Structure 1
Amino acid sequence: MRVLRLAKESAVKARTQALNQLKAVLMSIDPDLRELLTGLSNPALVATCAALDVDDRGEAVFTMRLLARRVQHLSDEVKELTRRTNRAVRACRPQMLDLVGVGPDSAAVLLIAAGDNPDRLSDEASFAALCGVSPVEQSSGKTQRRRLNRGGNRQANAALYRVVMTRIRWDERTQKYLERRTAEGMSKREIIRCLKRYVAREL
């Protein structure tokens, strides 16, 4: 699972770089062709440039087609790596993918974090601490409050954040919780901290 994530992160980074290079080269081509391509969505731009006829159209157009086909190839790699990650997670902990907002990438990150630290996982609270979502007291005088934990595994913390943001967008129960806590005077940052802690407990 770890090597799949490593390969996917590399492919995503290379795809982003190739797409940025494609857009940079776009600025140097014939104005008529540039006007035709400007404003296209990324998928449409890549598909159109990959199908360009490069005969006698200069090095810039040839380079654009080359970069577009590189983006397509890397996108295929990302899809295949996602499928394999999904399969690996289902073979290990299939029930994780049944939870709202938990996709194969987030599940893989959390499983890797847990697998790297089995000696630290005595209960669900220790998993929350490992992920950096255990509450930290920051009280002063009569003011009782907690803040985000800046420690823990940052990739696991980011995975929990993605799960929470997905739930805020799509999960009605989470949306109602957000509304209720906001009405009680909690900031969105504090609410997200509570939700990450809840997701850690659920996982």
Structure 2
Amino acid sequence: MTTIADATVLVTVGVDTHADAHVAAVLDERGVLVGTRSFPSTRAGHGQLVIWAAGFGRPEAFGVEGTGAWGAGLARHLGALGYVVVEVDRPDRTDRYHRGKTDVFDAEAAARAVQSGRATTVPKARNGLVEAIRVLRVARGSAVGDRAGAINRLKSLVSTAPDDLRDRLRNLDNQTLVRICAGFRPCGVTDPLNATKHALRSLARRITQLTDEIDDLDAQLEPLVTAAAPPALLERVGVGIDVAGQLLVTAGDNPDRLHSPGAFAMLCGVAPIPVASGKTSTHRLNRGGDRAANAAIYRIALCRMRWDPDTQAYIAKKIAEGKTKRGAIRCLKHHISREIYKDLRPPTCHP
């Protein structure tokens, strides 16, 4: 576009994001596709996209796919400029089946989802303390998973080790096993005994290194979570630094985007899903949402069921009403999510 656009004309922009390039599509107020173009997924490319879109009119909203992945940088750039950014899910599979799949089609579908009101989700801001917590938790989660895998392999090697070595190590706890294996001094690797000792030492030292890495990340995370979390959240039974960190990450740096307790429950995968047909009406397990947040709320529920008398009475009441123990726990998780929502939302943002 070489002409100056009329500022009174509103347009909607959809963006299909990728690692190296973003494809944008612009719809006018009548829903007519007026332009498509690809831009590099760099800071300069983001600026070019905005200037190009403004050439068709005043952008009313940007619908961006993958705001938590390839579109994170673009979403931050648009938010800093004051534009309305809407998170868009992948296009409907039925539509893809009939039309096919191209980046241009996906960008157009993103714009239409925003223009029709089907896409309304406000993406995470990713520009504050919670984003710092998230990236540190990514590193910590990787280290925890690697350590668990290394411990499993260490125990597997012990179970197949030569008899004398296996009898010496098989009944030790993890900490003692790692300490002893890390101190092995094998004489070469030409026989099974010394080769096994060498492998055990390698795994044990890796476990020790990963443990030190986890401890260092925990030391970095604790003051950040303490500063970012509302005091009421950390005071709740079952909520520690790790659980609070996950719940903060789920809510994001802009928890005001969570417009209701029901929306937060759905985000965490603890909202009951109705299943009704004819005279039958019940609810089933919610398998959607953020599964890490779901696991965090489940840990809170288990802790409360063990230590909190009020929770124990609540579970007993639900079972007396005819629910199974699993059903009672699902009710408890939904109740916990409503409490957490009140803690995470700033008081001035309550509807």
For the residue of structure 2 that corresponds to 1:138, the secondary structure is strand
Distance 1:116 1:187 in 2: 37
SS in 2 for 1:145: strand
Contact 2:315 2:332 in 1 (8 A): no
Aligned to 1:73: 209
Q: Distance in 2 between matches of 1:10 and 1:123?
A: 32
Quick one: structure 1 residues 127 and 28, their matched pair in 2 at CA, closer, same or farther if it must change by over 3 Å? closer
In 1: Cα distance, 2:159 partner to 2:218 partner: 33
C-alpha change, 1:76 and 1:172, in structure 2 (3 Å) is farther
> In 1, Cα distance between the equivalents of 2:257 and 2:269?
13
1:129 aligns with 2:266: yes
How far the C-alpha of 1:55 sits from its partner, in A, is 4.2
- The amino acid that maps onto 1:128 is A
Gaps of 5+ in 1: none
**Number of aligned positions between the proteins:** 203
> What is the RMSD computed on CA atoms of the aligned residues?
2.2
Percent identity between the two aligned chains: 47
User: Higher strand proportion, which one?
Assistant: 2
User: Does residue 92 of structure 1 match 2:92?
Assistant: no
> Which residue of the partner structure matches residue 194 of structure 2?
58
Higher helix share: 1
- Which of 72, 95, 101 is residue 238 of structure 2 equivalent to? 101
Residue 283 of structure 2 corresponds to which residue in structure 1? Answer: 146
Return the offset for 1:182: 1.3
Q: Could you tell me which of 3, 8, 11 is aligned with 2:143?
A: 11
> Which residue is equivalent to 1:162?
299
Larger Rg: 2
CA deviations over 1:40-71 (Å, ceiling 9, x no partner): 12222112212234346622212211211211
- Say which structure, 1 or 2, has more relative contact order (CA 8 Å, 6+ apart): 1
Matched, 1:191 2:296: no
Deviation of residue 7 (structure 1)? 0.6
Q: Could you tell me the TM-score, scaled by structure 2's length?
A: 0.53
1:156-200, Cα deviation, whole Å (9 max, x unpaired): 222211211222223222122212221221112211111111111
Cα gap change, 1:6 to 1:202, in 2 (>3 Å): same
Match 2:319 to one of 173, 179, 182: 182
| Alpha-carbon distance in 1 for matches of 2:258, 2:163 | 60
Q: Which runs of 4+ in 1 moved over 4 A?
A: 116-120, 140-144
TM-score (norm 1): 0.88
Structure 2 regions of 5+ residues with no counterpart?
Answer: 1-132, 341-351
Q: What is the CA distance between 1:117 and its match in structure 2?
A: 7.2
